[in-house]
Homo-oligomer: A and B are copies of this chain.
Amino acid sequence: MTTPDTAPETAPRRGKATRLREYLTGLIDGGLQPHDRMPTERELAEQFQTTRLTVRRALDQLGHEGRLYRTQGAGTFVSEPRIAKSLELTSFSDDMRARGLKPGSLGTTVECIAAGAEVGAELHISPRDMVVHITRTRTADGVAMCLEHCYMPSAVVPGLETTSWDGSLYEVLSRTYGLTPEKAEQSIRASVLDAADAAALSVPEFSPAFRVQRVTFDARGRRLEYALSTYRADRYSYDMVIYRNPGKS
């Protein structure tokens, strides 16, 4: 009699806060205009048979994503959709789909090599340990957008080099290996393209570009991936919402 209820819980989702957030995103996406008032916290708590604390957790998350803002004494309001969301960890595929573009890959190569000094240091493994090295040209609606080098410890993804997959690498990680990227440390630099990279991206030599270096971790802090990506800057920008740190020190 731990979870009797009336029905077999069509989908025994995580928590009430999650369901509440999904309901609220539905409200925002469906019909509500920017600066419209959302229901009050107390109303939502009553409607969903829960407490204000739980409602606040859902609203906090949406606030962090920039979907709504709150003003003490006045209420909770829908944000302008000018900048969709704050910077978050997504796959290239999801990122492109979110922008309404069809993601793809060209010229994928997969090899198993020794990590070497740089990759080994970033992945916290020995330079002699083996890694799977994947290179791809990522495309959006068939247009080359990004050149990607990705390194993953062979010990973490055994046999990946002999697996065939289409689309998102993250989906393979999740389905085949039960690995879920949760966090990444990322460094973005501005640069210009050399002749080879420019040709691969079909833009003139010396065009501006983003160089993105990223180490991806799972929930337990294991290093899953070290990735170096080069984005053509004429088609890419980083849009984000940032907040003042309350610990102003």
Contacts and interface: CB of A to CB of B under 8 A. Distances in A.
Interface in A186-234: 186-192, 206, 208-210, 219-221, 231, 233
A12 B184 CA distance: 37
A243 interface: yes
A192 B221 contact: no
A155 interface: no
B89 A245 contact: yes
Nearest to A240: B186
A53 B88 CA distance: 26
Contacts of A192: 192, 206, 208
B83 A221 contact: no
Contact of A187 (B89, B190, B238): B238
Interface of A: 18, 21-22, 25, 53, 61, 65-66, 69, 71, 82-83, 85, 87-90, 180-192, 206, 208-210, 219-221, 231, 233, 236-247
Contacts of A247: 18, 21-22, 25, 61, 65
A87 to B, nearest CB: 5
Contact of A244 (B25, B53, B180, B206): B180
Contacts of A66: 185
- Total copies of the chain: 2
A34 to B, nearest CB: 11
Contacts of A220: 71
Contacts of A82: 185
A219 B206 CA distance: 42
B221 A184 contact: no
A244 B89 contact: yes
A186 B21 contact: no
A243 B89 contact: yes
* 8 A-B pairs closest in CB distance: A190-B233, A190-B190, A188-B238, A190-B208, A89-B244, A89-B242, A88-B245, A189-B237
